[in-house]
A and B are shown apart, each in its own frame.
Chain A
Amino acid sequence: MKLDAKFKIWMIIGMVVLILTGLTALCLGQFNVPVDQVISILLGKGSTLKNAVTVIRQVRMPRILFSMLAGAGLAAAGAAFQSLFSNPLATPDTLGTANGASFGAALGILLGISYVGIQLSAMFFGILAVILVFVVTRTSNGQNKGSIVMVILAGLVISSLFSALVTLTKFVADPNNILPVITFWLMGSFSSISYKSLQMGTPLIIAGLIVLYLLRYRMNAMSLSSDEAKSLGVNLPLTRGLIIFSAAAITASVVAICGVIGWVGLLIPHIARMLFGNDNRRVIPASILFGAEFMLITDTIARCASNTEIPVSILTAIIGAPVFIILLRKTGGIRV
């Protein structure tokens, strides 16, 4: 009961903090808007400040919403993959999704297609990577057919393949104007989010999050050996398929819209595990909440700390690593 009570308190505090951080993030930026004006804009009463309504509604709101959703999605996908592969080092891009999506986007930028086209191309290749992993796993012969080790190996191979293709697109890209765009995009940034990209990216992320949230108890059994999981009455192929496709859909959507954002999928689930133990009934909701909070804070710093945007991927590592180390020292690891 102790852990359950601790979990409930943390979740309530976490939600309040998330709302307060969101409100603060709306105020902050190149153009500071006082909090009373922000609230009045949110309530639809407008503002006395010039341009404030546009800045808040058209620029900051979608960006803040999407960064929270992306953080929540990546963290939940990471937690799910860790259970599925019973491997603490598994991340949302274990199956090559991130590299696949990166290639799709790099190719789109190289070919000079529209922004929406780039996102669609990224999503297409991200999901193609997972399908390829499945095909490779299925066609292998012998005892290891369809085993988790085969899945991870196939993921590694497909991931490297797409990573090489990304390098190839960079190699052939015009170093004066195209190459910098690809490089900056690959570093990850929420800077170009609009309501349009929100509309395109969110359905898959939300759908993936709902499926992972609903499957959270099943993930406990999935983290055991496959014979044990089967003996607990788990339908392995169905559950595995659902988890993999949900996590891949989330990752591909996030990468498609804002590039590769590392660390969140590894760091946040482990913070949740250190605080609340390994039961996924707590790990998944905590990852969703902390992931949203973490991404919101890093992205706010990324756009406010200096006059130019700092790529958010750099910040996730710079902020994430010390937080992780402090927690590791304080809790003594994940063995609660």
Chain B
Amino acid sequence: MKFEVKDGCFSYLKEDIVLNNVSLCVDEGQVISILGPNGGGKTTLLKCMLGFLKFASGTVLCDGKDQKEIKQNEFWQKVAYVPQARTQTFPYLVKETVLMGRSAYLNLFQMPSQKDQEIAEDAMKRAGILHLAEKSCAEISGGELQLVLIARALASRPEILVMDEPETGLDFKNQLLVLNLIQKLSKEEHLSVVFNTHYPEHALEVSDHTLMLMKNGGSIFGTTKEIMTEKNMQDAFGVKIKIIEEDVDGVKHASILPVSLVEDNER
């Protein structure tokens, strides 16, 4: 599925523009990262893309069709949202949580069927958490809970995953688990993934295209290579940055070194 945002504008208060003419385009199997400083509108953009908030102007298109004209449950069968892992008020079992991903296919009074259970089980397998199925979401670690939420999203058999900072608050190993899963889903299963991140390295590591949110609601979008330059990052974050590339076992990895703060008048 082709997912597009065209000239999206948004502000909570009239004088304070959060997003100004943001555009991005996601093709099948692509990974798109969204980078930007704290309070720069990353989460707001995701919420607008998904229709939780409404763009003041601009459109969201799925395969060229305006999102507003698509029925809610049809939209949510194609697009899945992975929120940040938070503890549930009423902890459900992992398998119950993942099964909720089937809700978009059920009508108001319908119970999930055996088929739905199987699809949920398959989603747990793909996310590598089948062994946790019988555990309570209150007993597992933050990293595992994030994978559970990804499995729940996969259970709706979507064409695109939209993730809100999926690796924030996780340790190295769990971050890699999540990133590897993102890569696997896009390369092997041709799922599109859009994710917000605080870590430029992660964007460099897994994404094809990057949207960088700049000051005053502006943004730049292009291939990750084009966008993730020392100059652009300095402009967006106000930090002098050095990109260090390193070959490990024949694979190129990049590390980003924040050198110093840049005073506003130097920018």
A278 within 8 A of partner (CB):
yes
- Can you list, as one digit per residue, whether each of B21-34 has a CB less than 8 Å from chain A (1) or not (0)? 00000000000000
**B104 with A278: CB separation less than 8 A:** no
Taking CB atoms and an 8 Å cut-off, the chain B residues in 90-117 that contact chain A are 90-93, 96, 100-101, 103-106, 108-112
**B81 with A336: CB separation less than 8 A:** no
**B72 with A235: CB separation less than 8 A:** yes
B54 within 8 A of partner (CB):
no
Taking CB atoms and an 8 Å cut-off, the chain B residues in 67-94 that contact chain A are 72-73, 76-77, 80-81, 83, 86, 88-93
Given A88-B89, A227-B52; A277-B136 close (CB under 8 Å): yes
A284 to nearest B CB, angstroms?
Answer: 12
Given A233-B73, A279-B96, A335-B138; A225-B90 close (CB under 8 Å): no
**B101 with A217: CB separation less than 8 A:** no
Q: How many contacts A-B (CB < 8 Å)?
A: 90
A273 within 8 A of partner (CB):
yes
Stretch from A18-26, A79-87, A306-314 forming part of the interface with B = A79-87
- Residue tally, chain A, CB below 8 Å to B: 36
B47 within 8 A of partner (CB):
yes
Residue of A nearest to B77 (CB): A233
**B90 with A223: CB separation less than 8 A:** yes
Most chain B Cβ neighbours within 10 Å, of A82, A220, A232, A335: A232
Chain A residues with Cβ below 8 Å from B83 are: 225, 227-228, 231
B contact residues, range: 35 or more
**A335 with B91: CB separation less than 8 A:** yes
- Can you list, as one digit per residue, whether each of A72-99 has a CB less than 8 Å from chain B (1) or not (0)? 0000000000110011100000000000
Chain B residues with Cβ below 8 Å from A273 are: 90
- Can you list, as one digit per residue, whether each of B143-160 has a CB less than 8 Å from chain A (1) or not (0)? 000000000000010000
> Measuring CB to CB, which residues of chain A are less than 8 angstroms from any residue of chain B?
2-3, 82-83, 86-88, 143, 214-215, 217-218, 220-221, 223-225, 227-228, 230-235, 238-239, 242, 273, 277-279, 281, 334-336
> Measuring CB to CB, which residues of chain B are less than 8 angstroms from any residue of chain A?
12, 47, 50-52, 72-73, 76-77, 80-81, 83, 86, 88-93, 96, 100-101, 103-106, 108-112, 134, 136, 138-139, 156
In the complex, 9 of the A-B residue pairs with CB atoms within 8 angstroms, ordered by the A residue number, are A88-B89, A223-B89, A225-B83, A227-B50, A233-B76, A233-B156, A235-B72, A277-B93, A278-B96
